[in-house]
Structure 1
Amino acid sequence: MKLLVKAPAKINLSLDVLYKRPDGFHEVEMIMTTIDLADRIELSLLNQDKIHILSHNRYVPDDQRNLAYQAAQLLKHRFNVKKGVEITIEKSIPVAAGLAGGSSDAAATLRGLNKLWDLGLTLDELADLGSEIGSDVSFCVYGGTALAQGRGEIIRRLPAPPTCWVILAKPFIGVSTADVYRRLDVNGIKHPNTSEMIKAIKENDYQRVCGNVGNVLEEVTLNLHPEVAQIKEQMRRFGADAVLMSGSGPTVFAIVQHDSRMHRIYNGLRGFCDQVFAVRLLGERHTLD
């Protein structure tokens, strides 16, 4: 028996860090939304009691370091599952890009194995399990648009943002999220207005969404990698309505509503940057159907 599950990327419309917690994590407030750029996860039932990862991407680990592997292992241990699974990961989301590719693969694995292994768990229960794997996994279990708080595991659902194009550009570098957070001076940052962004989304106000994008991790990554700042400048020059780095980077995204501007930015960046995508926002949450 085989099952195919899509694992969409996310972008941060807003990312704020409030303080460092006693447990070593940072208290965050993030508004995230899924986009139509997705990995493809194929789950195949195995007779042997083992987890096997298959991927043709050399940057994707095939052992316990892989978050999809960790998701399968967590379900096996928690619910005493004696069946095995082969997890084939077909990557479209760039690796180490600030787009939650690994977290989304883990979330898709949780949703898929819930069905394949007939566990009968709800999305809320899967999201709780996801929080044990990584900070973005809970959001990725749900998909759609949400405010994420705590260390990312407290999810408050939001309506879909206004319809627009998202143009993503990732330079040929990887960024360590842990390293970026380590270098962040929590006392010296300018906080984005999260409540204004929430209002703009709820009122479907595209201009106010554009006016309230913000990411406190941007300055750290831009200082480490000047090419990220260059991509931002190129996007602005080509007519983007708003430009922001996603997560800890290095991917930068531009949002526009007009097809002509989307094509201008996309074509202008293709000669300048390694990986460029033009996609739509997804907006809606996942279901267990």
Structure 2
Amino acid sequence: MLLERAYAKINLTLDVLRRRPDGYHEVDMVMQSIDLSDLVWLDCRSDSEIVLDLNAGHIPSDERNLAVQAAMLFRKYTGIRAGVQINLEKNIPVAAGLAGGSSDAAAVLRGLNRLFDTGLTSDELADMGAEIGSDVPFCIYGGTAIARGRGEVLERIAHPCHLYVLLIYPRVFVSTADIYQALQPTDFVTAVQSERMVQALMEQDVDAVPYLVHNVMQHVTFAAYPGVKQLADKVESVTRHPVHMSGSGPTLFCLAPTVQQANRMYNALRGVMRDVHLSHFVSNISNSGDGEV
């Protein structure tokens, strides 16, 4: 049995350029992996079934789950017919703007590549993952990247900047599709923010990065879900620090340059609200399998 970690991501920038003829939106965003992760155990079965067992009863375990879709796609591409057992421990909140499902799919692809010793490169796995979802290619590699197109065209970035991430989970379900549909032409941009963010990361400017975080969808989600906006205002009043949203939400986050500051913010928030998690940036994960268990 093999263990793969499926790391969550946050958006350091998210700009939408236009609505594409295929119905998707053209985006330009900086994505960053953080150490909050689901745990994905993989093993062969004696039959030919793909079976997913997980610790969250409200999540489907059939073909609607991206982890199962990833296993099906892997077998289609490789011609492998062996059964696959997937045991999934969910720690990343569902539908939270943290790419939990996409990261699970990426972990399955990476893990099956090791389990069956198929020798596929990360680039090949990323191309495969793009058929499942726009965030899956990024989740194959992890670390930091500028994502363009639908999110599947990646420019990977290696930088020395390490920041701590305070995550706050509003207990609200946000529909990504609805938020994208609510975008107006005035929300589309021509001047993207990714290059400024990457420059600050490369220069290790930990003081500037939190103030360069940008998400064009944040005001749309806040308008559609006033409770998320109210929570963001409360977090900002407690931390006296910029509060941001990842993806289409609803997860909120603050960035801190030191573990001491992060702990102070964490302790202050824990005194007044639930669902606060302390995390940090992680770098390239495409070759970081956790081995056999």
Q: What TM-score do you get using the length of structure 2 for normalisation?
A: 0.93
Show the counterpart of 2:252: 252
Task: List aligned pairs for 1:16-165, cutoff 5 A.
Answer: 16-160=15-159, 162-165=161-164
Superposed displacement of residue 192, structure 1: 5.2
Cα RMSD of the aligned pairs, angstroms, is 1.7
Aligned residues: 288
- Provide the C-alpha distance between the structure 1 equivalents of 2:170 and 2:272, rounded to a whole number of angstroms: 9
Q: Which runs of 5+ in 1 are unaligned?
A: none
The answer to whether the aligner puts 1:242 opposite 2:246 as a matched pair is: no
The range that moved more, 264-273 or 31-40, is: 264-273
- Provide the C-alpha distance between the structure 2 equivalents of 1:260 and 1:215, rounded to a whole number of angstroms: 27
- Provide the C-alpha distance between the structure 1 equivalents of 2:187 and 2:102, rounded to a whole number of angstroms: 29
Show the counterpart of 2:203: 203
Q: Which amino acid aligns with 1:43?
A: L
The range that moved more, 256-265 or 136-145, is: 256-265
What SS does structure 1 have at the residue aligned with 2:40?
Answer: strand
The range that moved more, 141-150 or 276-285, is: 276-285
- Provide the C-alpha distance between the structure 1 equivalents of 2:185 and 2:32, rounded to a whole number of angstroms: 24
- Provide the C-alpha distance between the structure 2 equivalents of 1:239 and 1:163, rounded to a whole number of angstroms: 20
Q: Deviations over 1:46-105 (max 9, x none)?
A: 021110010120232100110010000001112211101111110111111100000000
Q: 1:67 to 1:184 in 2, by over 3 A?
A: same
- Provide the C-alpha distance between the structure 2 equivalents of 1:264 and 1:288, rounded to a whole number of angstroms: 31
- Provide the C-alpha distance between the structure 2 equivalents of 1:132 and 1:66, rounded to a whole number of angstroms: 14
What SS does structure 2 have at the residue aligned with 1:238?
Answer: helix
8 Å Cα contact 1:145/1:285 also seen in 2: no
Of structures 1 and 2, the one scoring higher in RCO (CA 8 A, sep 6+) is 2
Show the counterpart of 1:183: 182
Q: What TM-score do you get using the length of structure 1 for normalisation?
A: 0.94
- Provide the C-alpha distance between the structure 2 equivalents of 1:26 and 1:229, rounded to a whole number of angstroms: 24
Superposed displacement of residue 162, structure 1: 1.9
What SS does structure 1 have at the residue aligned with 2:207?
Answer: helix
Q: 1:271 to 1:182 in 2, by over 3 A?
A: farther
- Stretches of 4+ aligned residues off by more than 4 angstroms: 189-192
Q: Which amino acid aligns with 1:266?
A: Y
Percent identity, aligned pairs only?
46
- Provide the C-alpha distance between the structure 1 equivalents of 2:172 and 2:239, rounded to a whole number of angstroms: 25
8 Å Cα contact 1:236/1:243 also seen in 2: yes
Q: Which amino acid aligns with 2:41?
A: E
